[in-house]
Structure 1
Amino acid sequence: MAKFIHPLLTLLASLTRQELAQQIRFLKAENQILRAKLPDRIALDNRERLILVRHGKKLGGAIKQIMSIASYSTFRRWVRMQEDGALTAGKKQKKKSNQKPGRPKTPEDIRDTIIRIRKETGFGYTKILQELRRMGVRVSRQTVKNVIVEAGFPTTPGDHPDTWHKFLKRHAETLWQCDFACKKKWTMKGLVDVYFMVFIHIGSRRIWLSPCTDTPTGAWTGHQARNFSMWMEDEGLECTYMMRDRDKKYTDSFDGVFTSTDCKIKKTPIRSPNLQAHVERVIQTIKHEVLNAFCIVSNAHLDHVLKETSIWYNTERCHSARDHLPPVRDGDPVATVKFRKEHVVCKDRLGGHLKSYFRRAA
């Protein structure tokens, strides 16, 4: 008997599934036709979403094949909202905020304080920012600038009647800068630092290099200042200001050499090498273009290299601030009517390491 009942039940179940599948296909076709006649986007309220979630969760991933009113990712978001309790039939949707996008406006008290500090002190943006930070106000430097500009103040901070740029430009013809430089020397005990001083005339970009020493004491520094002063007199150069940093090796004897001739010592602030940019750049040039190519074995060796470097830098190496010509020259070169390569000659120094090119007189 069981042999006949089980196949019969199986046949009936199969016919039922086929009928249900046929009904589903009909409903999907009907839904597609109706969906095509509706707008692209259909707005649903929470009650309608909740109905779809209750029935759709039971289908699992199969809902992807039949859902057309919204995307599957949107349906999963509705499921998460229903689990969190945010999707209820009677709960209203949150209204959109009327707040404008972007950062909130700076409070008036902070704006008034920025303007007050500017009026009373003339501080620049960074200085005003520091004053605010000390009072516990956290704003950016750009915010301080925006407030000052909107208030009608000039964009350039006027916290000081003079600037370094204006000072350098005004005194370029009588202004010098100096600094220390060093080079490794090979000895029987290993590498030893050897020091020398670099002076540069801001106006003409001429340099003077001192002899080197292993121990740059205050007495040695004062002696080099006197040597430099005598060289400057021989060359007919003036020195109204001498800019230097606050190194302890600059003793009173060093400053006295210049102050005795009515020259003023201009000390740069602590940890501000950018204010000594000209002499720092010369030191970099000397190291990269000359000294790095040599292994120094004695002080006399380094003095010879520095002497040749000084002549090369002053009379042969071109400089952009000097119209791409050397700092020291008899005059501007005469324009040639016809340039011939046979007239070009090369002059070398330090065993051919430094090369300069000139046009031979016809």
Structure 2
Amino acid sequence: MDGVTALYKECVTTFHSTDCDDTRMAAIYHPLLALIASVTDRHLARYVEFLKEENKILRTRIKGQVHTRPDERRRLLQLGKTLGQGIEEIITLVTPATFYRWIRDENEPEMKRPKGGSRKPREIRELVLEIAATTSFGYTRILGELRKLGVRKISRQTVRNILKEAGIEPRPNRTSDSWDNFLKRHAETLWAVDFFSVKTLTTRGLRTTYLMAFLCLETREAIVSKSTQHPNSAWVVRQTKEFLAKTKDREKKPDILMHDRDSKFSRAFTAACQQGGLRTNPLPIASPNLNGRCERFIQTIKHELLFKFILFGNRHLDYLVQQFLAYYNGQRAHMERANLPPLGEIPEEVEKPIRNRIEINSYVGGLVKSFERKAA
């Protein structure tokens, strides 16, 4: 850099002199710019060497081949094509030959054809994709569905090529079950239960009072037990039986009840559920997120109700909770219910609301209000 500084000073001195000609200026500026460019190139080369070494270390941590998705390949092509043959010195994710093949495939999409003949009609391709998305079947079973529909001129390899071009993973990667899929399959008859507590003011001072919250995963309907200051196993069994009595006459009555591994969910609790035709599903240890929907309701009832009152004993608490549940289940909009209440029916659409047919109702002593249509 000392050489750059010296040339810069000489350039400035010459520029301000009165006898400077074009030949002299060119003689000074050319080596100066060349030196600056070489310094910049060396600096960038150090960057590249560091990133290459870092990439090698990261690759040693990854076992097996790294498969890229279509969007990832597009980003690599966008950045790598501008490097020309220089890509061969830095690319490590795939071989340079694979990268060049990506470029050819991008430049000649119409010339690429699946092996085995001409491209299948659009209707057949769309049908294959629809079967895969709807059923999660593998290649052979999709082929069987096509045979049942009378589609004969198609092979298993063609089904594979259609799914691969659409970016759909093979069956084992598409059918690996998840917790969300389990919840969706059983949502109509799947309930969750959890405990929550709140401070109440009694003649003996502040006491911690406990309640049980039952929540339907499909409708988000909530049922809350009576409160107690002594939440033992007998109380849990008693509240569970009351919950079963409230829901036994429903068309879609509870079938599975999720709960954590609290010691109060004892064998007597499990036996009471089985007697009522209800299966229990204990959640894994230290997995509160699996019961997150019930936890979210508990947060709602605390923030929208319990934290806004001074609670005087169990009777006061139970009264407020039941008043809030009437509002929550019947009137409170819920995002997961398309902004309708858990037990609310879809109203007939109106072009414009008529004000004299709308009334404002209050719940929980005026704490919450709801706009509702007047009864006919």
Out of 193, 196, 199, the position equivalent to 2:211 is: 196
Q: Give a deviation string over 1:88-123, Cα, whole Å, max 9, x none.
A: xxxxx99x7794844333587754x4569xxxxxxx
Instruction: Check conservation: 2:201, 2:313, Cα contact below 8 A.
Output: yes
Q: Give a deviation string over 1:157-193, Cα, whole Å, max 9, x none.
A: 9599321000000000110000001111123443221
User: What corresponds to 2:193 in structure 1?
Assistant: 178
The answer to whether 1:308 aligns with 2:319 is no
Out of 339, 353, 370, the position equivalent to 1:339 is: 353
Q: Give a deviation string over 1:130-158, Cα, whole Å, max 9, x none.
A: xxxxxxxxxxxxxxxx89xx9x9959995
- Flag structure 1 segments of 5+ consecutive residues without an equivalent: 1-24, 45-68, 75-92, 117-145
- Flag structure 2 segments of 5+ consecutive residues without an equivalent: 1-12, 67-92, 100-166
> Cα–Cα, structure 1 residues 301 and 156, in superposed 2: closer, same or farther, change >3 Å?
farther
The answer to whether 1:105 aligns with 2:56 is yes
RMSD: 3.9
Deviation, 1:334, is: 1.7
Q: Which moved more, 1:162-171 or 1:351-360?
A: 351-360
| Greater per-residue helix proportion | 2
Q: Which moved more, 1:186-195 or 1:295-304?
A: 186-195
Q: Which moved more, 1:263-272 or 1:30-39?
A: 30-39
Distance in 1 (CA, whole Å) between partners of 2:267 and 2:20 is 97
Distance in 2 (CA, whole Å) between partners of 1:41 and 1:153 is 57
User: What corresponds to 1:353 in structure 2?
Assistant: 367
Deviation, 1:285, is: 0.8
Q: Give a deviation string over 1:48-74, Cα, whole Å, max 9, x none.
A: xxxxxxxxxxxxxxxxxxxxx99xxx9
Identity of aligned residues (%): 31
Distance in 1 (CA, whole Å) between partners of 2:58 and 2:369 is 64
Deviation, 1:355, is: 1.1
Q: Give a deviation string over 1:204-238, Cα, whole Å, max 9, x none.
A: 11111000000101111111111111111144442
Instruction: Check conservation: 2:244, 2:276, Cα contact below 8 A.
Output: no
Distance in 2 (CA, whole Å) between partners of 1:206 and 1:294 is 23
> Cα–Cα, structure 1 residues 114 and 216, in superposed 2: closer, same or farther, change >3 Å?
farther
Distance in 2 (CA, whole Å) between partners of 1:290 and 1:333 is 27
Q: Give a deviation string over 1:243-300, Cα, whole Å, max 9, x none.
A: 1111111111111122234432212222222111110111011011111111101100
Distance in 2 (CA, whole Å) between partners of 1:31 and 1:242 is 96
The answer to whether 1:224 aligns with 2:223 is no
Deviation, 1:312, is: 1.2
Deviation, 1:328, is: 1.4
> Cα–Cα, structure 1 residues 284 and 100, in superposed 2: closer, same or farther, change >3 Å?
closer
Structure 1 SS opposite 2:270 = helix
User: What corresponds to 2:26 in structure 1?
Assistant: 37
Out of 298, 305, 314, the position equivalent to 1:283 is: 298
Distance in 1 (CA, whole Å) between partners of 2:168 and 2:235 is 51
Structure 2 SS opposite 1:196 = strand
Distance in 2 (CA, whole Å) between partners of 1:284 and 1:356 is 20
User: What corresponds to 1:125 in structure 2?
Assistant: none
Distance in 1 (CA, whole Å) between partners of 2:18 and 2:290 is 82
Q: How many residues align?
A: 260
- Normalized against structure 2, the TM-score is what? 0.59
> Cα–Cα, structure 1 residues 325 and 39, in superposed 2: closer, same or farther, change >3 Å?
same
Distance in 2 (CA, whole Å) between partners of 1:31 and 1:252 is 104
Distance in 2 (CA, whole Å) between partners of 1:38 and 1:109 is 51
TM alignment of 1:127-138, pairs within 5 A: none
> Cα–Cα, structure 1 residues 153 and 43, in superposed 2: closer, same or farther, change >3 Å?
farther
Distance in 2 (CA, whole Å) between partners of 1:323 and 1:191 is 40
- Normalized against structure 1, the TM-score is what? 0.61
